[in-house]
Chain A
Amino acid sequence: MSTDTEGLALDDTVVTGMGVVAPTGLGRDEHWTNTLRGASAIGPVTRFEAGRYPSRLAGEVPGFDPAAHLTSRLLPQTDHMTRMALVASDWALTDAEADPAQLPEYGMGVVTAVSAGGFEFGHRELQNLWGKGPEHVSAYQSFAWFYAVNTGQISIRHGLRGPGAALVTEQAGGLDALGQARRQLRRGQPMVLAGAVDGSPCPWGWAAQLSTGRMSEEPDPVRAYLPFDAEAGGYVPGEGGALFVLETEEAARARGARRRYGRMAGYAATFDPPQGSGRPANLERAARAALDDARLGPEEIDVVFADAAGTSEEDAIEAEALRGLFGPHGVPVTAPKTMTGRLSAGGSALDVATALLALREGIVPPTINVSRPRPEHTLDLVTAPRRIPLATALVLARGQGGFNSALVLTGPC
């Protein structure tokens, strides 16, 4: 295994580009600046009239004008989520200075994760069907709602003809997409575009989320989403996410790629036993397996980006997993998603973007609004930006129903 001066092996999976569309900002730099400032993007829902619902806050992407980025041909056939994903894919490729046309014919694949598909589009077509009749259903409905839509549209937009995949594991999906992308690289693909941009900001999607009983009903944006806090009372949903250009170090070097955000050093996924089984949750085991995969010990992890479910029960499970791995107060833990809310599959992808930027800049971004962390969690929760040497990060994500995923990143040098 040959290595270069940066210490990367040729078969390492490296991240060479990212595209961020997040409540905290359009584009990587705006997102990072706002995240470091601890600027909350949680506010009243604007995409529909939410006054009648018990939860009325969301992390919406501000100022996203699809017509500014996409041709008019795409607009009638795409959901809001897909439009954001297409823009994120443009930015990721530009950021990586990657031109798919320069690659071998089937050289670049696409993997996205999604949770509910193009739900706002689907909601409109359901209304057309049930309110007016079958002849009112759009010719685009057959794909604009379905879960594979982002992968298909991204592939078409950029001419990516390698393997395509779309995964659904709720919030864990953003990490699972990267795990699948690495599998494709190991099977010989030079490059994969992967990640998740998600969100279903329509009343029908809202009703579905309300059914969990886990959405916060607190009207004050500052107090609505408080993971690990004594007053944790549920989550606030959001929209957006991040897409990445992943390639083998060999491929990156061959095309003269200038930037490495970092290396995807380890990944693993586990599943929880059913509630009431008496068996323990498996988040800790996912994290251990990802560390093993990265050949790193817990003591070598510099920061953890937590899943931060925001309910006292689930927060306790994550805190226990972190204590099991690192000991009490054993590692800095942060949850920048306190600024954005939980973005479904996009949330864990955005955490990967934030973690890579943290590694590059040597600053842990803060968890905001959490003023009374539960002492029994024994977490070293980072509530103000913390400048420390950062070489490695662990990102955790849990999808509703029992999905656990963990991803280990190492920094650019």
Chain B
Amino acid sequence: MDQLTTDRLMEIMRICAGEVDPVVTTADPEDIDFADLGYDSLALLETAGRLEREFGVAIGEGELADARTPADLTALINRLLAKTA
């Protein structure tokens, strides 16, 4: 299975929960908190379900809560993928 990229993650999130909110910042979008991007807990649960199906991984509840940014979540999925490989 291919690794998850943040671009692919953002695409999945758009399908699961819509576009990101406009954010005024110089930060890299992948390092912005989900909350600031406008993605709430439901958006994350819907996304996590989709990621679990697409990548065949099981995301622990604590792990999902700890992933605060797209970069975090991407890294988490790739860690899980490495473990199952």
Contact = CB atoms under 8 A, between A and B. Distances in A.
Contacts of B52: 135
Interface in B7-42: 14-19, 38, 42
A72 B45 CA distance: 17
B46 A76 contact: yes
A413 interface: no
Contacts, number: 33
A139 B14 contact: no
B83 interface: no
B45 A139 contact: yes
Contacts of A74: 18
B77 to A, nearest CB: 16
Contacts of A77: 17, 42, 46
Interface string A122-151: 000000000000011011100000000000
Given A135-B52, A135-B53, A72 B18 contact: yes
A75 interface: yes
Given A77-B42, A139-B42, A140-B42, A72 B19 contact: yes
B53 A76 contact: no
B46 A73 contact: no
B37 to A, nearest CB: 11
* Size category of the binding interface on chain B: 10 to 19
B18 A71 contact: yes
A72 B38 CA distance: 11
A135 B17 CA distance: 17
Nearest to A75: B18
Contacts of B49: 135-136, 138-139
B50 to A, nearest CB: 9
A187 B40 CA distance: 35
Interface in A162-183: none
Nearest to A133: B53
B18 A140 contact: no
Nearest to B39: A73
Nearest to B41: A139
A76 B18 contact: yes
A73 B53 contact: no
Nearest to B19: A72
A140 B19 contact: no
21 contacts: A71-B19, A72-B14, A72-B18, A73-B17, A73-B18, A75-B18, A76-B15, A76-B16, A76-B18, A76-B46, A77-B17, A77-B42, A77-B46, A135-B52, A135-B53, A136-B53, A138-B46, A139-B42, A139-B45, A139-B49, A140-B42
Interface of B: 14-19, 38, 42-43, 45-46, 49, 52-53
Report the 6 A-B pairs with minimum CB-CB distance, sorted nearest first: A72-B18, A73-B18, A139-B45, A139-B46, A72-B19, A139-B42
